[in-house]
């Protein structure tokens, strides 16, 4: 066990979205633009890292029978705090993705890592695992967001300035796009192709 | 008793959230107010707003041009939709903006200007006739959501 294997697992080999297929609801719902993908991905990363940290901190104090509800309690607390911070510092982003920030609690990645890793491993490794799993999820989100926005809207980085306070760097390659890509079926198709691509890359590497 | 630890943790977490909420609530309220004012400004440009019972009176100098009302509807697909409707004294819609909703992203969220131009279609529409509010084409695939907004606007401009 070292940080390098944790990173490999979180980013590629055991990627939360592309391999474990966890957190698909937020993944599919907010990935129709790069900006919303970035927003939700960063919040998820933040909450996942903190929840892993905290649960690792109290792992010896937990009882076997109440472990799961306590983990959910911790995750829900951090999600609530993150939502409050979002409302006070990134209000536009909250207007766009607020619904999905609340749903981060239901993202199985968080409970999954809490149960499978943070409740059994030291704080340092748990933080690393939370961060890497969150980063892997973020990367998957950004890949989806890029494809869906380019094909669905014909733009990239649209509204990034509004939502995150970064300068406007919108790239427009077309007036309109393929509507399907911003609707749920397009999300599924994109995800399927991404997973296929990853599997193909893994196959070629062997 | 194994319930003690969860309860203790729940109290600590509750306290943490409460403290954060108190610290941030003014900033959040300011954000909501700023956002609302920005929407109102966008709806009526340079005209003046004067608070009254139903919302705001729209004025230009001494003349009252119309009314801007805030309204809500629960006829949408999910939860409450909050919207502002600005209309002239003759019952013609000046503009409509949806400020809050929980409609389906990618489908019903087209009622937001950020997502689609649909809500601009209300401008110039009236209660009856060829260009009535209810005659506006709904959002594709979001009949319930668009009907809810149309009905809400219709109710506002009705005398």
**Quick one: closest CA in B to A61, which residue?**
B5
Give the model's pLDDT for residue A164. 66
Q: Do B106 and A30 touch (CB under 8 A)?
A: no
Residue of A67, A68, A76, A21 whose CA lies nearest to A47:
A76
Kindly report which listed range (B46-50, B83-87, B122-126) carries the lowest average pLDDT score.
B46-50
Give the model's pLDDT for residue B54. 80
The ipTM (two decimal places) reads: 0.79
* Mean pLDDT (chain A, rounded): 90
Give the model's pLDDT for residue B83. 92
Give the model's pLDDT for residue B86. 92
Give the model's pLDDT for residue B152. 94
CA distance B142 to chain A (A): 12
In sequence order, which ranges of B61-142 are alpha helices (DSSP H)? Answer: none
Q: How confident is the model at residue A54 (pLDDT cuts 50, 70, 90)?
A: very high
Q: In what order do the strands lie in the sheet with B93-100?
A: B48-52, B55-60, B63-73, B81-88, B93-100
Q: Quote the percentage of chain A above a pLDDT of 70.
A: 98
Residues on chain B touching A89 (C-beta within 8 angstroms): 27
User: What would the pLDDT profile of A32-49 be if each residue is shown by its tens digit?
Assistant: 889 889 989 999 999 999
Q: How confident is the model at residue B18 (pLDDT cuts 50, 70, 90)?
A: very high
Give the model's pLDDT for residue B79. 87
CA distance B138 to chain A (A): 17
The answer to whether the CB of A91 falls within 8 A of the CB of A56 is no
Q: Span B24-29, mean pLDDT?
A: 94
Reduced to 3 states (helix: H, G, I; strand: E, B; else coil), residue B56 is: strand
Residue of B104, B132, B136, B135 whose CA lies nearest to B119:
B136
- A91-99's contacts with Cβ under 8 Å and 24+ in sequence apart are A91/B28, A91/B31, A91/B32, A91/B34, A91/B35, A92/A162, A92/A163, A93/A39, A93/A163, A93/A164, A95/B35, A96/A35, A96/A36, A96/A39, A96/A163, A96/B114, A97/A30, A97/A36, A97/A39, A97/A40, A97/A43, A99/B102, A99/B105
In a mutational test of the B interface, the residue from A98, A99, A155 whose CB has the highest number of chain B CBs within 10 Å is A99
Q: Span B64-92, mean pLDDT?
A: 91
CA distance A86 to chain B (A): 9
Whether B48 has a pLDDT exceeding 90, the answer reads no
Residues on chain B touching A183 (C-beta within 8 angstroms): 106-107
CA distance B119 to A125: 50
* Mean pLDDT (chain B, rounded): 89
Stretch (H or E) spanning B101: none
Give the model's pLDDT for residue B107. 78
Q: Do A66 and B32 touch (CB under 8 A)?
A: no
Highest mean pLDDT among A40-49, A98-107, A170-179: A40-49
Highest mean pLDDT among A29-38, A46-55, A96-105: A46-55
Q: Which of B2, B20, B105 sits opposite A29 (nearest CB)?
A: B105
Q: Do B106 and A29 touch (CB under 8 A)?
A: yes
Q: Do B105 and A69 touch (CB under 8 A)?
A: no
Q: Do B107 and A183 touch (CB under 8 A)?
A: yes
Q: Which of B2, B13, B107 sits opposite A73 (nearest CB)?
A: B13
């Amino acid at each position: 066990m070292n940080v390098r294997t944790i990173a490999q697992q979180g980013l590629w080999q055991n990627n939360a979205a592309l391999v474990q297929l966890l957190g698909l609801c937020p993944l599919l719902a907010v990935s129709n633009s790069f900006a919303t993908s970035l927003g939700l991905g960063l919040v998820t990363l933040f909450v996942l890292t903190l929840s892993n940290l905290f649960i690792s901190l109290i792992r010896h104090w937990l009882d076997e029978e109440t472990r799961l509800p306590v983990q959910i309690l911790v995750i829900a607390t951090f999600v609530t705090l993150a939502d409050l911070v979002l409302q006070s510092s990134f209000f536009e982003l909250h207007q766009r993705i607020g619904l999905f920030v609340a749903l981060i609690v239901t993202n199985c990645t968080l409970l999954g890592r809490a149960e499978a890793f943070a409740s059994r491993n030291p704080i340092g490794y748990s933080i690393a695992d939370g961060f890497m799993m969150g980063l892997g999820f973020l990367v998957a989100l950004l890949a989806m967001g890029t494809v869906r926005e380019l094909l669905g809207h014909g733009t990239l980085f649209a509204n990034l300035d509004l939502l995150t306070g970064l300068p406007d760097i919108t790239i427009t390659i077309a007036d309109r796009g393929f509507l399907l890509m911003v609707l749920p079926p397009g999300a599924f198709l994109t995800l399927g192709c991404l997973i296929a691509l990853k599997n193909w890359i893994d196959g070629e590497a062997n | 008793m194994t319930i003690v630890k969860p309860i203790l943790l729940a109290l600590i977490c509750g306290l943490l959230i409460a403290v954060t909420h108190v610290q941030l609530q003014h900033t959040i309220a300011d954000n909501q107010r700023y956002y609302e004012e920005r929407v109102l400004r966008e709806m009526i440009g340079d005209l003046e707003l004067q608070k009254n019972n139903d919302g705001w009176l729209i004025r230009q100098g001494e003349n009252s041009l119309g009314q801007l009302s805030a309204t809500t509807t629960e006829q949408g697909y999910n939860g409450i939709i909050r919207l502002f409707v600005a209309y002239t004294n003759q019952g013609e819609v000046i503009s409509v903006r949806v400020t809050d909703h929980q409609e389906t992203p990618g489908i019903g969220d087209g009622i937001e200007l950020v997502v689609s131009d649909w809500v601009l279609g209300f401008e110039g529409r009236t209660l009856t006739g060829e260009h009535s509010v209810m005659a506006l084409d709904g959002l594709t695939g979001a009949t319930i959501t668009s009907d809810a907004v149309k009905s809400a606007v219709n109710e506002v401009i009705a005398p």
